[in-house]
Amino acid sequence: MKATKYIQRIAKKTTWFLFFFGIVFLLNQQAFAQDEKVLEKIVQLGLPNSEIYQIIFTLLQWLLQIFTLLAVMGFIISGIIFITAGASGRADSARAWLVNTIIGVIVGLSGYIVINFIDKILKGEVQSYF
C-alpha cells in the first residue's frame, strides 16, 4: 500500500515538473518572424517549396507505406504464432492477431480511400451530380 502511494506521489511531482518545464520552455521562445538572418537560414534548410496539398499527399504516401509494412508484419506474426501453437490455446491468440490485423487493414485503406476522394473533390476532378 505504501509503495503505490509513493509511486503516485512521484508521478504527481513528475507531472507538475514537466508541466512547469514546458511552460517555461514555451514562454521563453523569441519571435524571429522579421529577422532576415533567420529567414535565410530557413531557406538553406532545403525544405520543400511546393504547395501544401502536395506535401500532405507525400506524407500520406509515406504513412501508407509504413502502414503496409506494419500490416505485413502483423500477418507474419499471426502466422508464426498459429504455426507454433500446437495443441495449446495460442491458436486462439493467433486468430485474434489475424482478425485485428485484417480490421486494421480495412480501416487504414478505407481512410486512405476517403482522403484521396476528398482530395479529388477539392481539386475539382470529381463530377458532382447533385
CA-based end-to-end distance of the chain: 65
- List pLDDT tens digits, range 60-95: 878 888 888 888 888 888 888 888 887 777 888 888
The pLDDT, as a whole number, for residue 90 is 82
Which stretches of the chain drop beneath a pLDDT of 70? Answer: 1-3, 21-36, 38-39, 42-43, 47-49, 128-130
CA proximity to 78, closest of 55, 101, 105, 111: 101
Phi, psi for residue 35 in degrees, rounded to 5: -85, 120
Quick one: what percent of the chain has pLDDT higher than 70? 74
**Neighbour-count burial for 86-102, b at 16+ CB within 10 Å, e otherwise:** eeeeeeeebeebbeebe
Element (H, E) at 51: none
